[in-house]
Structure 1
Amino acid sequence: THPRPTGLAKKIITVQSAFAEAGIELRTAGTVVNEIGVQGAGADLMWSNAELHAAMESNFSGHRDTEQWKLWSFIATRHVDNDGTLGIMFDREGSPRQGMAMFCTDLEQTQMAGTRGELHTWVHEIGHALNLVHSWDKNLAEPRQPLGPRDGYGDLSWMNYEHKYQGPNGEKGEAAFWAGFLYQFTDNELRHLRHGFYRNVVMGGLGLEIGVGGAYRVPLKEFTLPPAGRSGLRLELYGRDTFSHGEPVVTEIKLSLDGTTGQADAFPSLSPRGEHLTILVTDPAGAIRPFRPIARGCGSRHRHITLDAATPALYDSAYIGYGADGLTFPTPGTYRLRALCKAPDGSTVTSPEHTIQISPPHNEQDRQAGDLLIGSQQGTLLALLGSDAPQLSDGNAALDQLIATHPDHPLAVYALMVKGTNAGRHFQTLGKNGIAVRPADTATSIEQLGAVVETTLDPGTEAGVDNITLNETMRRLARAHARAHDLKQADAVLDQMVETFREKHVPPPVLATIAEQAETTRTQLHDQA
């Protein structure tokens, strides 16, 4: 029913036929469930990475922590980040690329459901499962491939984004892409699919890194910085430079104007979980690895925003202590961090190095408390901000033990933040009889998140979370009070948040953003009530 580009015969194209033309037979295994009813999930029906992870662990009967030709796909409503994410490869731990999810609410809202756009998203995500990278990242993949026309953005491929397409005669965007796209992979993508080494293609083989960092499989001993661009942007990593034994490592990220221009375009997401930013970590031995998060979104329809005098910078923070490759900082020593961020003009903005020190335990209590935060399950819980998954029960037990046996230790605040965040939201569990929903435990969430805020704001202690995490925690605390039908206390927390950052003397544009966040949250809570 769509207009056909010149050279494409009239035919019905499905996900299976798209891969069949590439030489790959896709088979549907098991029972396909058309619709699962949900009781008690609330109005949002959003899925967090923790819920997606738990659903796959409990329901993918073919899941094994090894390479195999099996992929679990789950059609959900909307991702909890609510950022327009259309698809996600959320299974990146251990043997990765065995789980993917699609989000139909955003497909519907972008008017892509049932169209060639939805088909493109499905084939694109399955392509990632087969270790194909985005068209503009092929030179950073493993094995490396040459970029196509216009640094890859000129590829008429399933692995390009329609809205990022750049044609040979200056034409750009979705209309130009569909006018020339023949619903096929490029020649080098076909070579990878048909003739690539087994572990480079099979699900659960070598990991996939979507984004600036590429798919580096072994540590690098040296890294050549991208050439300086003219994006008008400056990228910085900042924040704490010393972390104790077991302490979750969080770095803060700032993207601002570099002073060469009065305004510049930027992508709004600064998280390594997104598509545009990668953090490189150099360990004490000099080996360089990109930090690979457990889950990374794909297909966001956000274009860009403009930084100017009113909005001179963007800020974010990232927990990088644990990712798809396990512990990022396994031994004490000096580590160097560097961030790379794609700009809308296609250039890469590179930050100066930010050096951090991981200290050994100072005493036996530090060792015991730190050990309770070290482990794959604890790292996963920190990355997901909690989970009800039974596969993570040992990690949750360790966090509970840290709170119970070392309540006054500075590290206890991180266990409280994870447990309090998870308690404050409902948790959807996919089972044989549909989706069961554990309702939010607002009393526990208020107690634990309140302790995080109180500890962080206590002038007599150095314990606590960073400013951006504090902002997020206070808004979660306000939501918990609202769920407990205490709008007055929710408003008080939001007022306290703005006043806290006013007293910290943050720059006026930052304070204005925080005040706007508080008012947006306040309006949402009152409207829901």
Structure 2
Amino acid sequence: MHDDTLPPVVSGRYHFTPGMDPEQSSEASLRVVVRVDVDGPEALDHLSVEVVRRFPAVTAHGVARVTADRARDRDRILEADLYYLDGDANLLPGRRLVFEASGLQAGGQPTFTLSFADRRGLGSYPLWFRSRYFDPIEFEVDRVENAGPVVHQYRTDAHPNRPSDLPANTLTLANVYEQAGFSTGVSADSGPIPLVEAGADGAWSDSEMHNAMVTYWSRFADRPQWALWVLYASLHEQGEMLGGVMFDDIGPHHRQGTAVFTESFINNPPLDDPAPQAWRERMQFWTAIHEMGHAFNLAHSWQKALGDPWMPLTNRIEPRSFMNYPFNVEGGEDAFFSDFRFRFTDEERLFMRHAPRRFVQMGHSDWFQNHGFEAPGDTEGGSPWQLQLRPNREVNAYAFLEPVVMELKLTNLSPGDRSVDPDLLAFGNDVMLFVQRDGAPLRRWRNMTTRCYRATTMRLARGESIYGCHNISCSTGGWLIDEPGFYKVQAALEVDGRILVSNIQRLYVAPPAQPEENRLAPDYFSEDVARALVFHGVPALPGAMSLLRELAARCPENPAALHAALAFSAPDLRDYKVLDDEGADRFRVRCHRARLGDVAVLQRDTLLSSAGRAADTFGHIAYFRALEDLADALYRHGDQQGARGVRQAAVDTMKQRAVSSWVIRRAEDHLGQF
């Protein structure tokens, strides 16, 4: 919509559509959008130009730095040099842009023009003023019944630890992003989502959250849109250390939803904090803005160089930005908030306002694309750390359809103890992993969830290690390993400011062993099936779940059948929360009760009938975790003997496979609790 009145400044969004009302610009054969960013304290002195031609279908996007800003009578003239270009250069025939605003007097009818100073007469566009904002966006905010009080706004002077000259303002989820350049709408809160049928377990698993998100977003058009879902829930099953999640893999369109966990560490102020309630409100508000920032494709401040480049970016630890962690900076949380002005950095606002819109808009580019990340080169010698990539199987060969699970191991090689985050490898947020089939382009693996958690540290003695494992066949957007042949896999990780590069694993995927594998392959190598495997079952994807059941039944000799059986049975192993759409914008959380009898038999058979085969395909970490989940489920439902039997089988398998002695001791300690 047009703004009712034209502001006396010229910053904002302008359109050109030849011979058409600018409201119908989506139907035009040529559309030009100009974003002018030169007025106000948050101005970046930039212009960006987006040109879309429908026939033939070509686009261009340019970003220019303003070099001259002149006022003349009632006119204003901006000159800017183009320094970034994406798309077809022919649509932007010059490199020096001139934006002219004429007749800016009160009550007049101003005119606006974009032209190219170095190609006068080519590509000069009359413009219509559309909005003082760069794009419109709609936020929908919902909360689960047990989320408790949620913070949608924060008073900047509520906590005494703040910059001394920080103005006292009331910030909201909407106006923070308005300051970043977006006109925001927030859907009315329709009331809490009831938990009357959710069961006793109020913590949300990744699978439940993902299932809820798929259910919710299926109501909308399956396309990119300036829209974002924000859900407040009480707790993730990972516990208090996880403050929020940005779900970056929602069908084919990513970055559309976030969750904030109100009973996590963000609800626990330090014992000596002078204003604990204000501390809680500030942390919850900060977490919501932080997670929403990820949905705009913003990386953490210290991960700016970890992505595919749109512009060269630098990792930074110290910025006082919504996208940094308060406890990461020197001096910790107190130092961060004493100098935090509740804003994004100039670099982040430049990306949101002026990057090609497909990079930023929800549902367009995958999470972390076009964010300054290239495959790293060799690390410097003499690192105190060693990063290893290994399959935990004797032969690095896989059946057709079998997911490839790789284990990461980070070892302290220094003479003394060193501190490290114990979850550095487990979550996959910080892991760079690259997969290349012989003769094909290099592709990057990306985890399907991005966690924002309170990092902890542990001391590792010389020779000690931390571990993580991931299904590297499945990435955001689908499958990386889906054809027979030879592949190379390599991982990289930033530790203590250095990039560590792992060994290269070479693996082989065999051709189909039977006709059924060929028949199932087209439906199996889909994004929905990838998500069902990674999230251990997604009931809201019935087609994928049915395909996994069919695979387990028709191809029992293929190790992929073990992965399939574990995935389609996992939701029945526990009381499983489901977000139901009752229509009329009403939702309810209900619980599918665990159906342990047949599921326990199936999982025992999957994991224990051929323990070595199962441990080979799942990898040690995932395999023993699955046994632990089964034992815990049996114990919760009163079958202590069955739980003890599963734990004993786990210990026996560990000994047969020469697992680390400390892991066996820990498992035996758990066994002693039964």
TM-score by length of 1: 0.86
Deviation at 1:139, TM superposition (A): 2.7
SS at match of 1:7: coil
Find the residue that maps to 1:115 and give its secondary structure: helix
CA contact (8 A) 1:423 1:444 kept: no
Contact 1:272–1:278 (CA under 8 A) maintained in structure 2: no
- Alpha carbons of structure 1 residues 397 and 66: separation in structure 2 relative to 1, 3 Å: same
Letter in 2 for 1:349: L
Aligned to 2:493, what secondary structure does the other structure show?
A: strand
- Cα deviation code 1:27-81 (max 9, x no counterpart): 112x424422323544331212222222222224663332210001111122223
CA RMSD, Structure 1 to Structure 2 (Å): 2.7
Instruction: State the alpha-carbon separation in 1 of the partners of residues 180 and 526 from structure 2.
Output: 41
Write out per-residue CA displacement over residues 368-390 of structure 1, whole angstroms, 9 at most, x where no aligned residue.
5666743322211111111211x
Q: Quote the residue 1:238 is aligned against.
A: 390
Q: Which amino acid aligns with 1:224?
A: G
CA contact (8 A) 1:77 1:103 kept: yes
> Amino acid of the residue matched to residue 256 of structure 1?
T
Measured after TM superposition, the shift of residue 215 of structure 1 is 6.2
Bigger CA drift: 194-203 or 262-271?
262-271
Deviates more, 1:86-95 or 1:358-367: 358-367
Q: Indicate conservation of the 8 Å contact 1:63/1:98, yes or no.
A: no
1:142-176 Cα offsets, whole Å, 9 max, x none, are: 5445556xx4112111111101113xxxxx21111
Mapped contact 1:164–1:173 kept (Cα < 8 A): yes
Amino acid at match of 1:6: S
Select which of 665, 668, 671 maps to 1:512.
665
Give per-residue Cα distances to partners, 1:351-402, cap 9 Å, x unaligned.
111111122113435535666743322211111111211xx11111112222
- What residue is the counterpart of 2:432 in the other structure? 278
Contact 1:294/1:324 (<8 A) preserved: yes
Hey, what's the Cα distance between the residues in 2 that align with 1:128 and 1:497?
39
| 2:323 equivalent in structure 1 | 159
CA contact (8 A) 1:235 1:253 kept: yes
Q: 1:439 aligns with which of 593, 599, 602?
A: 593
Q: Which residue of 2 aligns with 1:120?
A: 286
Q: Which shows bigger deviation, 62-71 or 197-206?
A: 62-71
Q: Is the 8 A contact 1:498 1:511 kept in 2?
A: yes
Aligned residue number for residue 208 of structure 2? 51
Q: Secondary structure at the match of 1:335?
A: strand
Per mean C-alpha deviation after superposition, the further-off stretch among 468-477 and 271-280 is 271-280
Q: 2:176 aligns with which of 15, 18, 22?
A: 18
Tell whether the 8 Å contact from 1:79 to 1:103 is kept in structure 2 after alignment.
yes
The Cα of 1:472 is off from its aligned counterpart by 1.1
- Residues in 2 aligned to 1:414 and 1:372: alpha-carbon distance in whole angstroms: 16
**1:305 corresponds to which residue?**
458
Distance 2:209 2:445 in 1: 21
The question of 1:201 aligning with 2:360 is answered yes
* 8 A Cα contact 1:420 1:445, kept in partner: yes
* Structure-1 residue corresponding to 2:345: 186
1:486 aligns with 2:645: no
C-alpha separation in 2, matches of 1:464 and 1:369: 20
Give secondary structure in 1 for the equivalent of 2:227: coil
**Residue number in structure 2 paired with 1:74:** 231
Rate the CA distance shift 1:420–1:305 in 2: closer, same or farther, 3 A.
same
Is the Cα–Cα contact under 8 Å of residues 370 and 411 in structure 1 kept in the other structure?
no
- The separation in 2 between residues aligned to 1:61 and 1:371, in whole angstroms, is 23
How far, CA to CA, are the matches of 1:215 and 1:65 in structure 2? 28
Alpha-carbon distance in structure 1 between the residues aligned to 2:456 and 2:616: 38
Alignment equivalent of 1:333, drawn from 482, 485, 488: 485
Instruction: Determine the C-alpha separation between the residues in 2 that align with 1:349 and 1:472.
Output: 27
Task: Tell me the equivalent position of 1:247.
Answer: 402
Q: Work out the percentage of aligned pairs sharing the same amino acid.
A: 26
CA deviation map 1:420-453 (0-9, x unaligned): 3222022211122511110111112211110122
- Find the partner of 2:569 among 413, 417, 420: 420
Match for residue 102 of structure 1?
Answer: 260
Give the corresponding residue for 2:534: 383
* Letter in structure 2 aligned against 1:201: V
Equivalent-residue separation in structure 2 for 1:295 and 1:462 (angstroms): 25
Is the contact between residue 446 and residue 476 of structure 2 (CA under 8 Å) also seen in structure 1? Answer: yes
Question: Following the alignment from structure 1 to structure 2, what is the Cα–Cα distance between the partners of residues 362 and 405?
Answer: 12
Counterpart of 1:252, as a letter, is E
| AA of the residue aligned to 1:131 | N
Q: Figure out how many residues of one structure are paired with residues of the other and give that number.
A: 499
Q: Determine if contact 1:86/1:104 at 8 Å carries over to the other structure.
A: yes
The gaps in structure 2 that reach 5 residues or longer are: 1-157, 270-276
Q: State whether residues 49 and 90 of structure 1, in contact with CA within 8 Å, keep that contact through their aligned partners in structure 2.
A: no
Describe the superposition over 1:179-223 as per-residue Cα deviations: whole angstroms up to 9, x where unpaired: 11111111111212222221122111212229xx9665xxx7x75
Distance of 1:331 and 1:487 partners within structure 2: 44
Change (3 A) 1:229 1:83: farther
1:408/1:484 Cα in 2 relative to 1: closer, same or farther (>3 Å)?
A: farther
Q: Give, as a single letter, the amino acid of the residue that structure 2 aligns with 1:332.
A: P
In 2, Cα distance between equivalents of 1:501 and 1:324: 32
Q: Is residue 372–residue 399 contact of structure 1 (8 Å, CA) maintained in 2?
A: no
Letter in 1 for 2:490: R
Q: TM-score, normalised by structure 2?
A: 0.69
CA contact (8 A) 2:412 2:418 kept: yes
CA contact 1:94–1:325 (8 Å) conserved in 2 = yes
Structure 1 unaligned runs (5+)?
Answer: 167-171
CA contact 2:404–2:617 (8 Å) conserved in 1: no
CA distance, structure 2, for counterparts of residue 434 and residue 209 of structure 1: 32
Greater Cα offset, 119-128 or 408-417: 408-417
Assess if the C-alpha contact under 8 Å between 1:323 and 1:383 holds in 2: no
Who is 1:353 aligned against?
A: 504
Q: 480-489 or 348-357, which moves further after superposition? A: 480-489
Find the counterpart in structure 1 of residue 627 from structure 2.
474
Is 1:6 aligned to 2:6, yes or no? Answer: no
SS in structure 2 opposite 1:352? coil
Match of 1:6, SS?
A: coil
1:404 to partner: Cα distance: 2.6
Distance in 2 between residues matched to 1:408 and 1:245, nearest whole Å: 11
Deviation of 1:12 after TM superposition, in Å, equals: 1.9
Cα 1:437–1:228, aligned 2, differ >3 Å: closer, same or farther?
farther
- The structure with the largest helix share of the pair is 1
